[in-house]
Amino acid sequence: MDYSEELEKILNRYKENIEDDLKVRWNNWEKDLSIPEKFEVIGGLMSRQVSIALNFMTCSSIWNGHIAPIIMRSLVDNYINFAWIMEEPVERARKFIYFGLGQEKLQLEHRKNEMKNHEPNEQEKLMIEATESWINQQRFTFLTEVSLKNWSELSVRQMAEQADCIDLYNYVYQPFSCAAHNMWNHIAKYNLVESDNPLHKFFRKPAIYKFPPDIYYLELTAKYVDKMFRLFDKKTNYEPTKEYSFETFTNELYELEKKIYEEMQKQKEETTENK
């Protein structure tokens, strides 16, 4: 039996649901344009979480240990930033913006420096102008400082501690970081294969393991989106008018799994009877 169509329907429903979740939260949130940074940063981070999830869910070829941990790490990183900002939204949202503008200015200076050795073409000039104007619109480049530290001036671990999500850091962010940073404990397991030849002293050679798509990563993705929405709801006193999309999604996945299991059991019984 092929259940891919049913899975696709569940995924599509979930995707529509989280799009609505974002819309309804933004639209119902009372804005204060005297502190736009708070709303833009929080809204932007939520949109980022949803857009990563939506894109990840459309691409089953990356639901595996090679790529999915990179995406999961990004989702968790985004959540920790979000949770830390939510503790003091105005001040921290500004910090987040100013750091980003500083980084953009740094990149701009690198590009300008690169162009010192040749006459920039029209496209390069336009790019420089557009970047400069993008920064100036928010803060004059001549007033923009460049930070050489983390944007929050804290380690991610400290941010997670302060935002009451240290478990997420220890058990999720850290392990997924090994994949994102291509560290030995990921590479050795996923990109090398050990020789079983006694002549090779357990030597390893490069390998690319083929993994089937793993639904578990979908559940994780939905979980990290859900964490963000729940924290937003708590901090802004938003009361959802419907069940959380994560609940619906996991219930539907469970029903599908049950169906597949029952089908397999039935087939097994039939085979036994035939024998």
Kindly list the residues in this chain that would bind another protein in the complex (CB under 8 A).
19, 22-23, 26-27, 31-34, 47, 50, 106, 109-110, 112-114, 116-117, 139-149, 153
Q: Which residue type sits at 87?
A: E
Let me know if 89 is exposed, middle or buried by CB neighbors in 10 A (0-12, 13-18, 19+).
middle
**34 or 272: whose CB is closer to another protein?**
34
**47 or 170: whose CB is closer to another protein?**
47
What does the alpha-carbon distance between residue 28 and residue 220 come to, in Å, rounded to a whole number?
27
**135 or 166: whose CB is closer to another protein?**
135
**141 or 250: whose CB is closer to another protein?**
141
CB of 16 to another protein, least distance (A): 11
**91 or 269: whose CB is closer to another protein?**
91
What does the alpha-carbon distance between residue 131 and residue 108 come to, in Å, rounded to a whole number?
7
The set of residues, in sequence order, having a beta carbon less than 8 Å from that of 41 and lying 6+ positions away, is: 85, 89, 93, 96, 97
What does the alpha-carbon distance between residue 242 and residue 244 come to, in Å, rounded to a whole number?
6
CB of 164 to another protein, least distance (A): 26
Maximum C-alpha span of the chain: 82
Q: What φ, ψ does residue 206 adopt, rounded to 5°?
A: -60, 145
**Residue written as tokens 């420089």?**
128
